[in-house]
Structure 1
Amino acid sequence: MSKVYGSGDSAVRALDNVTVEFTRGAFTAIMGPSGSGKSTLMHTLAGLDTATSGTVHLGRTDLTQLKDKQLTLLRRDRIGFIFQSFNLLPMLTAEQNIVLPAQIAKRQVDADRFDHIVKVVGLGDRLDHLPSKLSGGQQQRVAVARALLGAPEVVYADEPTGNLDSRSGAEVLAFLRDSARELNQTIVMVTHDPVAAS
């Protein structure tokens, strides 16, 4: 797959014939300096951006062949996202933020999975708190739980520890590692931090 922005002399080749494969249940870190194409790769893999050439597959589905509505449904039903900025709704409690994607999709929440994920991320006593009453690490754990709840085929994490102190960042990485181990969750994380990657 390749991704080129612009054309002619001003063209920027963000991805140049990249071939990569991610194993189900693996926790993979994509590492590199700022501007090396990490986020472009992840956004293209997740169907948030389109490849200039080549293909992107999620299981047997070729994302490059999907129309916008099909891509929206695929992202909603088969992919989880964790962003550096948490992206929580401030007027909703932690629990409401976690279950929101399922409610939007009109999907029944699996109560056992919800309880297990809340236990894994250690939020049991914080579910009724608004984001403003949570630390940065706790907010990111809410975002992790939200991404994991729907049992997506893959979770893409874009610099998930970038806004956290080292202790909170280590906690979030441990939760992601545990979810790969305990929930067989496939996770692809973009980071520029060698400690996070290791």
Structure 2
Amino acid sequence: MTTTSVSTASRNTAELAASALDLTKTYGRGETAVHALREVSVGIEAGRFSAIMGPSGSGKSTLMHLLAGLDSPTGGRVFLGDTELTSLSDSQLTRVRRRAVGFVFQAFNLLPTLTARQNIRLPLDLAGTKVDPAWEQLIVDGLGLTERLGHRPGELSGGQQQRVALARALVTRPEVIFADEPTGALDSTTGAEVLALLRRSVDEWGQTVVMVTHDANAAAVADRVILLADGQIAGNLVEPDADAVLQAVRELGRA
């Protein structure tokens, strides 16, 4: 199986949920400038689970934030499907994110005063969109949250809170779910359960997931691992096991 690359000459938008062309991100100016990304071109396949890995400071979180429209590049272009994010105004970008992007964070980012159900429905409320009861019930049942919908975050375990966060990301039926270290605050058993649910959202519910992680075992759950080093694409692994991921990251660290 071959991985998907993107060039300025061609983009197959029918197969790509998100993509970047010659993406550059620089913080600061002059001698103090930090080049987080250097002319990165990458395509995220629709209906697949992609992980982004690399040493600390490699640019993996920066790449995810740019693909998700949470930050603006210094140069290059970013697409969500066939919509160019880098050509949108702030208000247009906000509307696209609310409609087409779901987020799962390490810190859960749930509102403590809202119940689980209210937190799940928050993106719909912000967008002024009605809930699809059948879809909501499907994901609530699938994530094992049926008996917890009336509980507030402080009454839930870490794993249950992350399940609520995942349900919140899924409820809008986004084009892409971006997960930033989603198991970082969880113990290994609970983390494995969350990864299995992300995997299920791809396999059973047709979602596209992009996950930043430093954990080789977590990355091995993905269909593809994109390796970054010094702000550039350093390799791709397709359907790897944890040992292959760990070895690749170690080699990057020694390069």
Normalising to structure 1: TM-score of the pair?
A: 0.98
Matched residue type, 1:21? G
Listed as ranges, the matches of 1:6-155 within 5 Å are: 6-155=28-177
Aligned-residue offset at 1:34: 1.9
User: Residues 26 and 180 of structure 1 are in contact (CA less than 8 Å); yes or no, is this contact kept in structure 2?
Assistant: yes
Matched residue type, 1:121? L
User: Residues 56 and 64 of structure 1 are in contact (CA less than 8 Å); yes or no, is this contact kept in structure 2?
Assistant: yes
2 CA distance for matches of 1:162 and 1:35? 17
2 CA distance for matches of 1:84 and 1:33? 18
For residue 197 of structure 2, give the secondary structure of its aligned residue in structure 1: helix
Question: Deviation per CA, 1:107-144, whole angstroms, max 9, x where unpaired?
Answer: 11011110110122111111111111110010000000
What RMSD over aligned residues (CA atoms) do the two structures have, in Å? 0.8
For residue 51 of structure 1, give the secondary structure of its aligned residue in structure 2: coil
Q: Which has the larger radius of gyration?
A: 2
Higher RCO, 1 or 2 (CA under 8 Å, sep at least 6)?
A: 1
Q: Kindly indicate which of the two structures has a greater share of residues assigned to strand.
A: 2
Aligned-residue offset at 1:100: 1.3
Matched residue type, 1:35? G
2 CA distance for matches of 1:32 and 1:134? 32
User: Residues 77 and 150 of structure 1 are in contact (CA less than 8 Å); yes or no, is this contact kept in structure 2?
Assistant: yes
2 CA distance for matches of 1:104 and 1:74? 12
Alignment correspondent of 1:181: 203
Count of aligned pairs: 198
Task: Give aligned-pair identity as a percent.
Answer: 61
Give unpaired runs (5+ residues) of structure 2: 1-22, 221-255
For residue 178 of structure 2, give the secondary structure of its aligned residue in structure 1: strand
User: Residues 82 and 156 of structure 1 are in contact (CA less than 8 Å); yes or no, is this contact kept in structure 2?
Assistant: yes
Equivalent position to 2:192, from 167, 170, 193: 170
For residue 54 of structure 1, give the secondary structure of its aligned residue in structure 2: strand
Q: Which runs of 4+ in 1 moved over 4 A?
A: none
1 CA distance for matches of 2:39 and 2:168? 33
2 CA distance for matches of 1:121 and 1:17? 38
Alignment correspondent of 2:228: none
2 CA distance for matches of 1:128 and 1:67? 38
For residue 139 of structure 2, give the secondary structure of its aligned residue in structure 1: helix
Q: Does 1:4 align with 2:4?
A: no
1 CA distance for matches of 2:144 and 2:36? 38
2 CA distance for matches of 1:117 and 1:34? 34
Normalising to structure 2: TM-score of the pair?
A: 0.76
